[in-house]
A = this chain, B = another copy of it.
């Protein structure tokens, strides 16, 4: 009997597919790697997931969970075939409770949908990955997703209170719960946050909500040199401001933006750029923008745009998105590495990338979350299909990662390891932590069936 027939018998025929087009859409994510699963399963409940894993475990069939499928590191590519486990049908917001400050959701809920529903009640779910209109809460938890506002509000991990998890064996485990604090034992649920589907399948989450800020405001500021923008980041934080976002852009990206948007979109001669967003009560936001304007001028900013309302701030965020589009508009392949460095190394990173550019001829665009040092470093390749160009670009990524690790940084702040960064993983975490990963993985998934072949683990 075939895999599909087995699963059909266990869960019902409407919950499994072996159709070529369905297999194809479940073969990969936004990274280039692609491997067809043997079957795609669409569970509708925790019990479905448990039954499926019980079966897969007894038959030694790999199971690769899949959320929105919009990852950047091939995390949901079923590299060893078997089952692609799509959580897309488990997409209900089960409850939003302002009284308890929680939302209870299934993993397939789209992040932006939860944010919209919570906001309608005056409540806030802060994590804001760029893909929030497409990505799912389950995927966000599995990758511990971040975003610009994590500077003030922390990453996904700070908002997970409880998880229902199905282990590889099919055993269902409740971790944490509905309370905002819980010191009952180890932080066992945390193990699944950021585990990239390799330790268990999340089928339900209790998330912490906070009161929605009354107002948002933002500033956009150009600088004649990138180091002045980086110095302004330090100055802002050293002056007691904790912005909700603090985004920096380097001169290469600004050049591409000027080509794409026209000269008038940016202050002339601007070779560094900052977006500072603040939130809070309305009068507080106004006062803080006054103070930040003065401070940015003292730091050498030119062409400051001020957004006193959320709608105006949205125009500034749109400019930030255009930076990304303008890199795409170059027509080049963009190797988007989401490295993190200690914040004091911002200028050193950009100088290193400029030197790498002079040496290799490859353009490198740096922009991102300067407050927490999480800089999206894009190596631009004009013909990645050309093996020579590919080798050059890959060597360039290698050198970038070595530099980052040598300077106290991390090779990924948001995207995760998956397949794309697997070959660097062991060096990046060190022998001790690598060994711990092995210990934990084999304790929880002794047959190595959950998303096997990722992170450079066996």
Chain A residues within CB distance 8 Å of chain B: 97-102, 122, 143-144, 146, 150-151, 154-155, 157-158, 167, 171-175, 177-188, 190-191, 193-195, 198-199, 210-214, 234, 237-242, 280-281, 283-284, 287-288, 291, 338, 340-344, 369, 371-374, 408-417, 425, 428-430, 432-433, 435-437, 439-440, 442-444, 455
The chain B residue with its CB closest to the CB of A444 is B439
> Do the beta carbons of B340 and A436 come within 8 Å of each other?
no
> Do the beta carbons of B211 and A410 come within 8 Å of each other?
no
> Do the beta carbons of B280 and A280 come within 8 Å of each other?
yes
**How far is B416's CA from A174's CA once the two chains are assembled, in angstroms?**
18
> Do the beta carbons of A408 and B177 come within 8 Å of each other?
yes
Residues of B within 8 A of A187 (CB): 144, 157, 190-191, 193-195
Going nearest first, the 3 A-B pairs with the smallest beta carbon separation are A284-B284, A173-B432, A180-B372
The answer to whether A344 and B97 touch (CB under 8 A), given A181-B155, A183-B417, is: yes
Residues of B within 8 A of A175 (CB): 433, 436
**How far is B371's CA from A210's CA once the two chains are assembled, in angstroms?**
11
- From residue A102, how far is it (CB to closest CB) to chain B in Å? 7
The chain B residue with its CB closest to the CB of A346 is B99
> Do the beta carbons of A199 and B186 come within 8 Å of each other?
yes
Residues of B within 8 A of A210 (CB): 242
A238 contact from B98, B177, B437, Cβ within 8 A: B98
Residues of B within 8 A of A372 (CB): 101, 179-181
Residues of B within 8 A of A425 (CB): 184-185
The chain B residue with its CB closest to the CB of A186 is B195
A179 contact from B150, B199, B340, Cβ within 8 A: B340
> Do the beta carbons of B179 and A417 come within 8 Å of each other?
no
**How far is B238's CA from A183's CA once the two chains are assembled, in angstroms?**
26
The answer to whether A183 and B179 touch (CB under 8 A), given A240-B211, A281-B287, A344-B100, is: no
- From residue A451, how far is it (CB to closest CB) to chain B in Å? 12
The chain B residue with its CB closest to the CB of A181 is B413
Residues of B within 8 A of A237 (CB): 98, 101, 211
Residues of B within 8 A of A430 (CB): 173-174
Residues of B within 8 A of A443 (CB): 439-440, 442-443
The answer to whether A179 and B442 touch (CB under 8 A), given A211-B237, A283-B283, A284-B287, is: no
> Do the beta carbons of A410 and B341 come within 8 Å of each other?
no
**How far is B212's CA from A143's CA once the two chains are assembled, in angstroms?**
30
**How far is B191's CA from A199's CA once the two chains are assembled, in angstroms?**
14
Residues of B within 8 A of A122 (CB): 238, 240
A194 contact from B155, B183, B342, Cβ within 8 A: B183
CB-defined A-B contacts under 8 Å, sample of 14: A97-B342, A99-B234, A100-B343, A157-B187, A171-B432, A173-B433, A179-B373, A182-B412, A183-B417, A186-B437, A187-B194, A190-B190, A281-B288, A283-B287
- From residue A169, how far is it (CB to closest CB) to chain B in Å? 10
> Do the beta carbons of B154 and A184 come within 8 Å of each other?
no
Contacts A180-B372, A184-B425, A213-B240 given; 7 further ones with Cβ under 8 A?
A97-B344, A99-B234, A100-B342, A144-B183, A173-B432, A173-B435, A181-B414
> Do the beta carbons of B179 and A409 come within 8 Å of each other?
yes
> Do the beta carbons of B181 and A240 come within 8 Å of each other?
no
- From residue A438, how far is it (CB to closest CB) to chain B in Å? 10
> Do the beta carbons of A374 and B180 come within 8 Å of each other?
yes
Residues of B within 8 A of A373 (CB): 100, 179-181
> Do the beta carbons of B410 and A184 come within 8 Å of each other?
yes
The chain B residue with its CB closest to the CB of A417 is B185
